[in-house]
Every structure is written in C-alpha cells, then in structure tokens.
Amino acid sequence: MVLSKYIVLFFLLITSVSAEVKLPEISTKQATNNLRFISKDGKFSYYQRRSGSLLLSTNYNVEEVLKGKEGSQYKVTSSPSQKFQLIEQNENFHTYLSIRKLNNIYISNYGEKKIRKIGEGVDARLHLNDSWVSFFNPYKMIISFIGLRNLGSSFEIKLQNTKNPYFIPQRVMLNDKSVLFTDLNGNAISGLIEFNRNTGKSDLLLKAENEYSKYELCTHKEKLYIGSFGIRSVSKYSSITQYSRKNFQISKGSIIYDSKYNDRGSIICNSSDDNIYFIQNTKGINGEESYEAASLDPKTKKVSTLSNFKWVSSIINMDDRLILPYHGKFYLMNPEKVQKTNDSLLNKNKGAK
C-alpha cells in the first residue's frame, strides 16, 4: 500500500506512569490540532488551516474543499455506511462566542472534495445507511431531515422544549417513516417520542421520572439502544436497553446494563466490533467519583474499563477508530482493531515507540 504523504499515523505509548489501563496516544505528521477526520483505512484525511480552508489530503495530493474566513472551524463526520461526509463550518469560531450559533452544513461523497450546502444548524447526523441527514436549529427548536436518496424529500420536527435553550435532541430513524427523538416538556422533563411521517403525529413513548435524567439514542445494524442517565445526584441511575430496530416496541427491550450511579453516557454503538462504548461513573469500582471510558459486550453484558484518566468527558467514533480526547491529546481506545487493518503505518508506530 502506498502511504499518504500526509497521513502518517502512529501511536506512542505515552501514558501516565501510574496508569493501570494504558491507551496509546495518537500522533501524526500533520499536527493533530489541524486534523478533522482520518478515514478508517488511512487513505485520506481532512484537515484545516488557520487561513480558514478545509483541505482533503489523499495519496500525494492535497485539495481545498472549502474556503472560509480566517479562523474558521470545521467539524467532519461520517457514518459506518461510508457513503457521505458531513461538514459543519463555523466561520466565526473565535469571534462569535455563541453555543447556539448556526453553522453552515455541507455534504460530500465519502472522501471526496465536491461539496454542497444543505442547510444551517448544529449537530448534523447521518441516518439509515446514509439515506437521510438531520440537523438542529436551536433558535427555532426544529430538527430538519433531508433525504439524500431522493432530492427534495424533507421534513421537520418542532420540539416543545422552552425551558433549556441549550438542549440538543437525540434522534434516530427506525425506517423512512419513523423517527425517534428526545424532547423536554414544559417542566423540562425528558421524553422519548416517536414521530410518524405518514400521519405527522408524535407519540410519547417514555417519560423520565423527573427533570434530572436524560435519554440517549443509538442505532447499529438491526439494533437500537436507549440509554437513560441521571444528571443530578437526586436521580442516581443509569441503564442501557437493547431493542430490535425492525420490530421496535418500547415495552420489548432488554436491559443490558444498569448502574446505581450517574454515568455520563455518550454512547457509541456503531463500532464494527458490535460492542457498546460509553463513559462510566466508576465510583462503584474505585470508591471515588471519576469518569472513565468503558466497553459493554451486549451479549455477555460484561463491562470493561478502558481508561485511567478520572475525568473523561468525551469519546469519539471516527470511522471506526475509537478516540478519547484528553488534555488536548488524543488516545486510541481500540488500537488492536486498527492494527488489523491494512495500515502499514502501524509498523512505523512500533518503531516510534
């Protein structure tokens, strides 16, 4: 395999001396703070420049994808279907400090540079094998869905939430007709709602006991996972429930994980190893309040702690690379899987160590 001149990815086994669980740190020839996306096979990457451009780097070739104002910030995502890339552009990242500010949302074919703008909003996501895209407008509290197979097909869901201006809804599509999403009612109590495109009606499926817990949604192959996590100490409980996506019925789930502590959640369920990854409150394990990345085997229900940082706030699935950002650095949670790919850069990695 010819290696990309720009995507030199290797791992340094840099971990805290006292760490029991050691995660390799990601290091690349291209400064990691410029990187926005590296493909699963390492053949292309997106990175940005301070000048405001987003660039696509492939084998011995670099092309400009987008040109923005100086200081523009980009977010690049994809899904396991690998049909499209979603790009969010924030042109006033440092000069307009607003969490709700709308980004320009673009789409391109997976690993390609030709883009088209599909709207303005935040938190763009791909659904149903990349046949739909959704994004959220926090000012209007509207989720917009746009069909990617049939141009012109689109619909919107208006949320009820008026109490938390910073709420971002979770949403998944069960099929072309049915959407599950989260919302807050007038008392800011979280609810799980099913929207039927045919009837235009919404049905409340689950309602939290109080306003101190949240729901998370995640789909993978034929499975749907619903996470329920307490967010205040008066509501201590976490659970992850597995459902069949095809024959979804809210009463027919099976709880594959629960805890009497408030986990942070951030469920990743679409990794190719079929495991669930999430951020767990490890008070029950080591006696003190701390948050670590954990994996859950949905078959055996076995939970394994993957990190040893105490205050993990995020975990990311970047094209099947599971990444843990911490203190400005990036750590790989599934290095063994990356080694299985035909990415000979990893040989270099060994040398680097």
Partner 1 sequence: MSQAYIFPTYSQEDLEAKIETTPGIIESLLEIIDIEKTQYSALIKEAETKSLLITDDNQVKEIKLDPFFVKSLLLNSENRYLNFLKDQKDECRLISLFQNNLIKTSRGLVNRVIVNYIDKDNERKRALLTRSNFLELYFKKKCINNKELGKLFETPNLSKTMKNINLLTPTTENQCIQILNDWQKNPNTPFLCGLHETISRGEKAKTILPALSTIQRNRRSVLQSRINTAERLIPQVPYFQRTYLKNLCENIDNQKNFCDKYLAKDIWSQVATGEKPDYLLKFKCKNVLGKKNITKNDLRKCALKFKNEPKYCLSNGNKNHLSTYPLENCNDLSDSYNNSQLVTKYHDCPGSVDNEGIVNTHRLLSHFRKSEYSSTEFTCASEANLTFANLNIKANNSNGWPLKICFKNLATELKECYPYVPGASRNTNLSEDLVISKIIKKTERTPFDVKCKLVNSNIYNPNRLGYKTGCHIVYDPSNCTSIHCPKNIYFETKLIDYLLYEGKVLYDYFPTSFSNEKYATSNLINDSLKKESKLIRNLTALKFFFQNTKTGIIHGIGCAEDLYPNIFQRISMNECKPVPFIIDGIIQDKDKTTLVFRGAISDIHTPRNIAWNMIFNAVANYKELHPLETWTLYGIK
CA–CA dist 179, 172 (Å, integer): 6
Query: At its nearest, how many Å lie between partner 1 and the CB of residue 41?
Result: 16
Cβ closest to partner 1, residue 88 vs residue 179: 88
- Let me know: does 144 contact 171? Beta carbons within 8 Å: no
Cβ closest to partner 1, residue 2 vs residue 234: 234
CA–CA dist 347, 352 (Å, integer): 9
74: its two tokens: 């980009």
CA–CA dist 293, 163 (Å, integer): 31
Query: At its nearest, how many Å lie between partner 1 and the CB of residue 226?
Result: 16
CA–CA dist 202, 164 (Å, integer): 21
**Amino acid at the residue 91:** E
Q: What are phi and psi of 112, to 5 degrees?
A: -115, 165
Query: At its nearest, how many Å lie between partner 1 and the CB of residue 251?
Result: 27
Give the CA distances from residue 172 to residues 117, 124, 135, 139, 337, in Å, rounded to whole numbers and listed in that order. Answer: 22, 12, 12, 21, 27
C-alpha closest to that of 117 among 107, 131, 109, 130: 107
Query: At its nearest, how many Å lie between partner 1 and the CB of residue 335?
Result: 16
Cβ closest to partner 1, residue 113 vs residue 214: 214
Cβ closest to partner 1, residue 188 vs residue 250: 188
Cβ closest to partner 1, residue 181 vs residue 326: 326
Query: At its nearest, how many Å lie between partner 1 and the CB of residue 121?
Result: 13
Contact residues for partner 1, defined by CB under 8 A? 32-38, 50, 71, 73, 75-77, 92-100, 139-141, 162-168, 187-188, 211-212, 214, 229, 231-234, 264-266, 279, 291, 310-311, 313-314, 316-318, 323, 325-328, 330
Query: At its nearest, how many Å lie between partner 1 and the CB of residue 297?
Result: 22
Cβ closest to partner 1, residue 161 vs residue 275: 161
Neighbouring-strand partners of residue 319: none
